[in-house]
Structure 1
Amino acid sequence: MSGPECCSNPPKLSSSSGSGSVIELAGLKAYVSGSSNSKQAILLVSDVYGYESPNLRKLADKVANAGFYVVVPDFMHGEPYDPDNVEKPIPVWLNTHNTDRGCEDAKPAIAALKSQGITTIGAAGFCWGAKVVVELTKSSHIQAAVLLHPSLTTLDDIKDVKVPMAILGAEIDKNSPPELMRQFGEILTSTKVKSFVKIFPGVAHGWTVRYKAEDEFAVKSAEEAHQDMLNWFLAHIN
């Protein structure tokens, strides 16, 4: 995940966005939305801009309204990627905020949710977060997954996926081009993992969480992807 495409259209971050609240979960700050009495949780793993993205929190609220307890942990530990910080370009930032660390942080968060009575967990990952989610699918940590414009994910990663997975990709995307997304789908079919692959026309990498509210087409495409994600979880998290 290098170059400007993965980091275009940075969101304006706001810790006060959303109708949920910020709690501490397994040593991490996390934005949560929905009833903690729910037995079904959805973990949303952000892109490099972190858990304060207003669009991501708005999406968390939308998923919570469908009956899930939604958790968006701060896997960036208070230091999301800042494109204006010339001392930490994306390759340097990734050295200390790598997806392996994100995956290791996710495991105790999942364990904490299960200790609270959560019985079934789905996870969706955006760009950087998709790689974290893929790692979680290789064992029994989660029961269903959605990748949205994934980065850093390889064909070999997909061969080890063990839970139902939906992949939502952009037509204009150097990090996860449509052909690679289709190859992911072919692998999942060959390994008999339930899967769904959809390429959205006319949109670029990051469109599901970095859209601008005044861009009608972008909003419509993002909302379509959000509904596809939600439908996947409604079908496979029960």
Structure 2
Amino acid sequence: MSGPQCCENPPTLNPASGQGHVEELGGLKSYVSGSSDSNLAIVLVSDVFGYEAPNLRKLADKVAAAGFYAVVPDFLGGEPYVPENAERPVTEWLKDHGTDKGYEDAKRIVEAVKGKGASAIGAAGFCWGGKVVVELAKTGAIGAAVLLHPSLVSVDDIEGMIIFTFGVKAPIAILGAEIDHRSPPELLKQFEEILAAKSEVDARVKIFPKVSHGWTVRYDVADEEAVKCAEEAHSDMLEWFAKFVK
């Protein structure tokens, strides 16, 4: 995570973006979109730039339009990573925003969403958020997982997801980039081999050509090709959740 690629193309954060609204959920400010009466919910776990990223909120709105209650919590406590702050490089920033804490917060979010009536919950994690979602899936807290250009996820993590200590087989899709130093194609192919060895596990690993780490939420909206690549990943994510979160 200390590599620069995770911090490239930072979004211009906008607390007013999106069609939904912000409310407190599980003790965290959260951007929510869609009807809370839906019994199907998706938690989107951001990258290091946090829950005010317009493209991420736009994706949450898309998830809501597909019939889910979409939740984007502020796991970073109002302190997203700021690349311009040379006095606090990402390695230092991570000391205060570790994925372990993100996982503990995420468990509370899942319980809060269940408290609103959700009977089936999926989670998608982007970069930093990918590790949080892996931890949720390991413990059976969610019914389906999607990792998009994840960081900090190891072979041991993927193996841990299929041990099923709790008897839960959470279907997992991993959407990766061809150009990614954090989760290079070689690592993703290892993940695929591990998952393929467990035929009872619903799993998919897809490597998108000619795209870089972060392409699903840090794309330039004026770049037609970048938007097209991001939307393909969004569609794959939604198809996964439509199939397994029900």
Q: Normalised by the size of structure 1, how large is the TM-score?
A: 0.99
Q: Does 1:230 align with 2:244?
A: no
Give the aligned partner of residue 16 of structure 2. Answer: 16
Give the aligned partner of residue 141 of structure 1. Answer: 141
Give the aligned partner of residue 175 of structure 2. Answer: 168
Instruction: Give how far 1:216 is off.
Output: 1.2
Taking the aligned partners of 2:196 and 2:43, their CA distance within structure 1 comes to 25
Instruction: Give how far 1:191 is off.
Output: 2.8
**Aligned with 1:137: secondary structure?**
helix
RMSD of aligned alpha carbons = 0.7
5 Å-filtered alignment, 1:1-238, equals: 1-161=1-161, 162-192=169-199, 193-238=201-246
Contact 2:3 2:182 in 1 (8 A): no
Taking the aligned partners of 2:180 and 2:111, their CA distance within structure 1 comes to 34
Unaligned runs of 5+ in 1: none
Taking the aligned partners of 1:6 and 1:198, their CA distance within structure 2 comes to 19
Instruction: Give how far 1:3 is off.
Output: 2.0
Contact 2:47 2:127 in 1 (8 A): yes
Instruction: Give how far 1:16 is off.
Output: 0.4
Taking the aligned partners of 1:12 and 1:99, their CA distance within structure 2 comes to 23
Taking the aligned partners of 1:169 and 1:140, their CA distance within structure 2 comes to 23
Instruction: Give how far 1:117 is off.
Output: 0.9
Taking the aligned partners of 1:130 and 1:123, their CA distance within structure 2 comes to 9
Taking the aligned partners of 2:226 and 2:4, their CA distance within structure 1 comes to 19
- Cα shift readout 1:103-152 (whole Å, capped 9, x = no counterpart): 00011111111111111000000000000000000122100000000000
Moved over 3 A (4+): none
Instruction: Give how far 1:195 is off.
Output: 0.5
Instruction: Give how far 1:223 is off.
Output: 0.2
- Cα shift readout 1:146-202 (whole Å, capped 9, x = no counterpart): 000000000000012141000000000010001111111111121332111111111
Residue 190 of structure 1 aligns with an amino acid whose one-letter code is: A
**Aligned with 1:104: secondary structure?**
helix
Contact 1:169 1:200 in 2 (8 A): yes
Taking the aligned partners of 2:233 and 2:29, their CA distance within structure 1 comes to 26
Q: Normalised by the size of structure 2, how large is the TM-score?
A: 0.95
Taking the aligned partners of 1:185 and 1:23, their CA distance within structure 2 comes to 38
Which segment drifts farther, 45-54 or 209-218?
209-218
Taking the aligned partners of 1:41 and 1:91, their CA distance within structure 2 comes to 32
Taking the aligned partners of 2:3 and 2:193, their CA distance within structure 1 comes to 28
Which segment drifts farther, 16-25 or 191-200?
191-200
